[in-house]
Chain A
């Protein structure tokens, strides 16, 4: 019995974690917590399956593609819940894979690893957020972990298999978050050092000197360049090729190769990423300083003491150390040209990397007791780091999540519904297939996600959308309008300003039927008699 328990321990624990996350998500969502990225994917799924006019454009351009596809797998749970189940499943999978790796690698005792992993995945607010927000963070963390693991396995075995697996995971990662393509630069230092391995130079001296030796010898320099290029090409051909393909498809089908990056219909980040300038304009000056060069990296490292411990363990192994530090270089590159507030995934990848580092190299450095003490302390500090992060985060969606998570009294109270859900309920009650509503999912994706179906709506994906925007009387009875105080009003043609223009141009009047703080539903009253 004990043997069976040991054999399936990881499975049992992962199953327990899955149930825990499902329960937690149910509770938190009862308090009206919803992440807009999750609603964005839910809406895209709904359009994909209910709107035959747009199958290709929705399927082919929605980005991050991999996150979107992963949510599609969970359609049987319903459009709204599919993204959440997807992120829960992926987080649980990450937990299972890490634990399995620790078990098979044997570097870290399971007596240490199991409690640490449970502690982190159960209590770290970042990982809870990853699981139950329905965002793409879980997919990012999973791909990132697999990528880094493959690189370390390559160092150990020097086999092409792991290098090609790294390339595949990197491709997946780029299709979870476009910024990760900049690993192209961040990987450069350690790839050069890894390339030194195959050269005939004095291996007893420090790697920096080995590098100097090789560049000062024509034959070795040529070999170094060849090998570095080869590793580079092997790792980056697939992601770059995939991006080229994706851009070509965007060009041929949406008329713009960067459609997936710049269109509010294809990418939630166009709407949801918050420019730091806007935060400052809103008067949020506190804690924005963490989003600057070096401070960001140091802050991320301090919030994740597990990586500090891992770096300590890896001292003396230069290129492995540089691999651990590559994400910090990535952050630097991203920050060079970044105008948006970087959210929790950039911190959590450091945590995941710390776990990977320890799982690979925590044996025999210190006595078991000391190891136990160091790792437990770091893990506890990591959980507090997570709490601290959310406490200081100025991202409104993360703030909202943390507030709901802390408000445990509301968990058992009456179920609350969001503003968008209320609007959707109203639309579903009045609009029919014969009395349709004109709605723009660029801003109103959350409303569409909550609607019973899209049969009663005319959306931008419908072929007659432009005609109806020009002359609403021709095809719809209702209009869903983003009010002036709606932060997304500029992303949609259906806002208060344009409503006036439309009614003047077409000589119809509108009757306000229903409104919430940010949305208004109008009925069109024709003046043509």
Chain B
């Protein structure tokens, strides 16, 4: 007697007994229906399954178009529906409750639902994806509200819902007023002082980055987790690992995604992969539906709620996550195959205060065009040296967008991501320090797709810089408190790294313009604000700053052995001008639409991630 569709398939020879056994074991661990396990852990292809049921005489209905009686669905818990893939529709004339299910042969589910609804039930077959979509849309309201407002309720001071506090507005406008008054009465001295301070800030900020890079480059000398250790890991002791994959209209990347996930060296049953799809994103949902090979992720549909940001989707995904550890990847990411094992080993070695490890990011399409080359230079320096430097010096680390590995329990304690912050990752990294916990760095790389199109790049970068400004404003609401929490070193590190980065980009074109006006055109008006000593310091800062920035970029790609990119570092001043353009856009958006998420288009690269060599460093 078959107990579910999989058993029937096994009897018919369409599903192996070994797989069935494996599916049952995993289903037991996750408390999932066997069919959910089979469809989401790479055991069964959806099309195959549908064909089998249809051959058994089952007709599939589209639940999205069915009439629903809310009273029944309101009795159901979203987690349960999500785990067992069912959706109560309505009662028919005979008083039988019609329930759409992914597995109409699941006897165990049938029994439990009869008990639950205290009436006869009738199963009708439907797509698991549609059931998931309707279930989340109708019953995910509470969770999505929690995802949006959870942090604000729990820790309002850390929420970016308010961009500028009153005190910050007083300070900013007070400063502008004072500046204007000084300009009217003491024009030249005021410009000189501003020029000098900006110039010194610029240099100090870059010297700080050089220092961080040199400190970070020492990390090459140590390997916290050796290859041998990873090889000797007992897989039975590995915990369940959640991977969140927030996507929006990434239909073209789904195949790549499955391929990349398959290359991860981690027990299949212990990978709890969640593909977070927005409610209005039918493109991606249909791409999953039309796959002609088994998917190895579970689809979670995020109900509509503003702001429509990645952190909101991730927060929503947290409610359904089962892992001890959690990480985020983008759809196109290619992590080192041993990354998850390495993280587990490293977490086991580190003190409890380390709650998140950031992996290095780099690009598989580095040689595609000028932009991707510059992006690779920047990322190599940022993730290979800067973050290691910050970790060594115990300065708050702004997390990168993906490949950050959390202890799930601690992440929830922290209030997860701020959905109002467009660089929620950087903000979360600082919040970790705020709570007396630590961020570490793991020596493992995830290859991403570098943005290869100028305007797409500007959109992405303006969001990042806006996010840095937001993060800076949030954490600087009470500077004294911040000092108390992270210490002076952390405070200055935060100011120069988070505040300084945006400020330097805003400043750069102004300093460049002054410099060009004076040195090339020798405008006498400019001479007034460049007395000899100011000119000396300005020239020194400007040339030294640029040379040092070029230099630190070179160091990192040298470490990566991307020798062909070394000379591109010389184009860093141009790349900085592009940053400045993005910074001004970000500043404008910070004022006009602070929560607007500038979507970056992925999948523009003509190069395939599979062509990239994934070799752990």
Given A56-B533, A161-B220, A198-B561, also A233-B544 (CB < 8 A): no
Contact present for A164 and B543 (CB under 8 Å): no
- On chain B, the residues within 8 Å of A191 by CB distance are none
Q: Contacting A56 at CB < 8 Å: which of B218, B221, B532?
A: B532
- Asked if B523 is at the interface (CB within 8 A of a chain A CB), the reply is no
- On chain B, the residues within 8 Å of A157 by CB distance are 220-221
Contact present for B547 and A163 (CB under 8 Å): no
Separation of A242 and B546 alpha carbons in the complex (Å): 11
Separation of A330 and B564 alpha carbons in the complex (Å): 29
Query: Does more than half of chain A's interface fall in helix, strand or loop, or is it mixed?
Result: helix
Separation of A159 and B563 alpha carbons in the complex (Å): 14
Separation of A227 and B566 alpha carbons in the complex (Å): 9
Interface residues of A in 484-528 (CB under 8 A from B): none
Mark each residue of chain B from 185 to 214: 1 if its CB lies under 8 Å from any CB of chain A, else 0. Answer: 000000000000000000000000000011
- Asked if B585 is at the interface (CB within 8 A of a chain A CB), the reply is no
Separation of A242 and B533 alpha carbons in the complex (Å): 19
- Asked if B596 is at the interface (CB within 8 A of a chain A CB), the reply is no
Mark each residue of chain A from 66 to 82: 1 if its CB lies under 8 Å from any CB of chain B, else 0. Answer: 00000000000000000
- On chain B, the residues within 8 Å of A410 by CB distance are none
- On chain A, the residues within 8 Å of B566 by CB distance are 226, 229-230, 233-234
- Of the stretches B172-180, B320-328, B466-474, B548-556, the one at the interface is B548-556
Interface residues of A in 191-230 (CB under 8 A from B): 198, 223, 226-227, 229-230
Contact present for A160 and B543 (CB under 8 Å): no
Contact present for A234 and B543 (CB under 8 Å): no
- On chain A, the residues within 8 Å of B554 by CB distance are 230, 233-234, 237
- On chain A, the residues within 8 Å of B544 by CB distance are 241-242, 245
Q: Contacting B543 at CB < 8 Å: which of A55, A165, A229, A244?
A: A244
Closest to A167 in B: B551
B343 to chain A, nearest CB (A): 23
Q: Contacting B220 at CB < 8 Å: which of A160, A238, A253?
A: A160
- On chain A, the residues within 8 Å of B555 by CB distance are 160, 164, 234
- On chain A, the residues within 8 Å of B308 by CB distance are none
Contact present for A229 and B551 (CB under 8 Å): no
- Asked if B539 is at the interface (CB within 8 A of a chain A CB), the reply is yes
Contact present for A249 and B540 (CB under 8 Å): yes
Given A164-B214, A237-B547, also A60-B563 (CB < 8 A): no
Mark each residue of chain A from 1 to 26: 1 if its CB lies under 8 Å from any CB of chain B, else 0. Answer: 00000000000000000000000000
A224 to chain B, nearest CB (A): 10
- On chain A, the residues within 8 Å of B564 by CB distance are 226
Separation of A226 and B539 alpha carbons in the complex (Å): 32
Mark each residue of chain A from 232 to 269: 1 if its CB lies under 8 Å from any CB of chain B, else 0. Answer: 01100110011011001100110000000000000000
- On chain A, the residues within 8 Å of B256 by CB distance are none
Contact present for A163 and B539 (CB under 8 Å): no
- Asked if B293 is at the interface (CB within 8 A of a chain A CB), the reply is no
Contact present for B558 and A160 (CB under 8 Å): yes
- Asked if B410 is at the interface (CB within 8 A of a chain A CB), the reply is no
- Asked if B255 is at the interface (CB within 8 A of a chain A CB), the reply is no
Separation of A249 and B213 alpha carbons in the complex (Å): 27
- On chain A, the residues within 8 Å of B539 by CB distance are 245, 248-249, 252
- On chain B, the residues within 8 Å of A163 by CB distance are 558
Interface residues of A in 145-163 (CB under 8 A from B): 157, 159-161, 163
Contact present for A253 and B221 (CB under 8 Å): no
Closest to B385 in A: A160
B438 to chain A, nearest CB (A): 23
Separation of A198 and B563 alpha carbons in the complex (Å): 11
- Asked if B605 is at the interface (CB within 8 A of a chain A CB), the reply is no
Mark each residue of chain A from 294 to 313: 1 if its CB lies under 8 Å from any CB of chain B, else 0. Answer: 00000000000000000000
Contact present for B563 and A227 (CB under 8 Å): yes
Q: Contacting A233 at CB < 8 Å: which of B217, B536, B543, B567?
A: B567
- Asked if B249 is at the interface (CB within 8 A of a chain A CB), the reply is no
Contact present for A237 and B550 (CB under 8 Å): yes
Contact present for B551 and A241 (CB under 8 Å): yes
Interface residues of B in 539-584 (CB under 8 A from A): 539-540, 543-544, 547, 550-551, 554-556, 558-559, 561, 563-564, 566-567
Q: Contacting B563 at CB < 8 Å: which of A164, A226, A249, A253?
A: A226
Contact present for B217 and A160 (CB under 8 Å): yes
Separation of A157 and B219 alpha carbons in the complex (Å): 12
- Asked if B152 is at the interface (CB within 8 A of a chain A CB), the reply is no
Separation of A469 and B123 alpha carbons in the complex (Å): 110
Query: Does more than half of chain B's interface fall in helix, strand or loop, or is it mixed?
Result: helix
- Asked if B535 is at the interface (CB within 8 A of a chain A CB), the reply is yes
Contact present for B550 and A230 (CB under 8 Å): no
Separation of A161 and B217 alpha carbons in the complex (Å): 5
Separation of A165 and B218 alpha carbons in the complex (Å): 11
Interface residues of B in 98-127 (CB under 8 A from A): none
Contact present for A229 and B567 (CB under 8 Å): yes
Separation of A159 and B220 alpha carbons in the complex (Å): 6
Mark each residue of chain A from 24 to 48: 1 if its CB lies under 8 Å from any CB of chain B, else 0. Answer: 0000000000000000000000000
A370 to chain B, nearest CB (A): 34
Closest to A232 in B: B566
Contact present for A164 and B217 (CB under 8 Å): yes
Interface residues of B in 64-93 (CB under 8 A from A): none
Separation of A104 and B540 alpha carbons in the complex (Å): 38
A225 to chain B, nearest CB (A): 9
Separation of A366 and B426 alpha carbons in the complex (Å): 57
Separation of A271 and B212 alpha carbons in the complex (Å): 42
- On chain B, the residues within 8 Å of A198 by CB distance are 561
Chain A CB within 10 Å, residue with most, of B214, B540, B566: B566
Contact present for B217 and A159 (CB under 8 Å): yes
- On chain A, the residues within 8 Å of B217 by CB distance are 159-161, 164
A56 to chain B, nearest CB (A): 5
Separation of A74 and B554 alpha carbons in the complex (Å): 36
Separation of A234 and B550 alpha carbons in the complex (Å): 10
Separation of A241 and B550 alpha carbons in the complex (Å): 10
Q: Contacting A252 at CB < 8 Å: which of B213, B535, B547, B556?
A: B535
- On chain B, the residues within 8 Å of A252 by CB distance are 519, 535-536, 539
- On chain B, the residues within 8 Å of A241 by CB distance are 543-544, 547, 550-551
Contact present for B214 and A60 (CB under 8 Å): no
Separation of A234 and B567 alpha carbons in the complex (Å): 10
B36 to chain A, nearest CB (A): 48
Contact present for A161 and B567 (CB under 8 Å): no
- On chain A, the residues within 8 Å of B532 by CB distance are 56, 253
Closest to B530 in A: A252
Separation of A242 and B556 alpha carbons in the complex (Å): 20
Closest to A233 in B: B566
Closest to B217 in A: A161
- On chain A, the residues within 8 Å of B558 by CB distance are 160, 163, 230-231, 234
Contact present for A249 and B536 (CB under 8 Å): yes
- On chain A, the residues within 8 Å of B533 by CB distance are 55-56
Separation of A245 and B547 alpha carbons in the complex (Å): 9
B530 to chain A, nearest CB (A): 10
Separation of A231 and B558 alpha carbons in the complex (Å): 8
- On chain A, the residues within 8 Å of B561 by CB distance are 198
- On chain B, the residues within 8 Å of A244 by CB distance are 543, 547
- On chain A, the residues within 8 Å of B213 by CB distance are 164
Contact present for A229 and B221 (CB under 8 Å): no
Closest to A157 in B: B221
Chain A CB within 10 Å, residue with most, of B214, B554, B556: B554
- On chain B, the residues within 8 Å of A229 by CB distance are 563, 566-567
Interface residues of A in 284-302 (CB under 8 A from B): none
7 contacts between A and B (CB under 8 A): A55-B533, A164-B214, A229-B567, A234-B566, A238-B547, A242-B547, A245-B539
For the complex of A and B, 8 pairs with smallest distance between CB atoms: A241-B547, A226-B563, A161-B217, A230-B563, A159-B220, A245-B543, A230-B566, A160-B559
- B residues near A, CB below 8 A? 213-214, 217-218, 220-221, 519, 532-533, 535-536, 539-540, 543-544, 547, 550-551, 554-556, 558-559, 561, 563-564, 566-567
**Besides A161-B217, A163-B558, 11 other CB < 8 A contacts?**
A160-B217, A198-B561, A226-B564, A227-B563, A229-B567, A233-B554, A241-B544, A241-B550, A242-B544, A249-B539, A252-B536
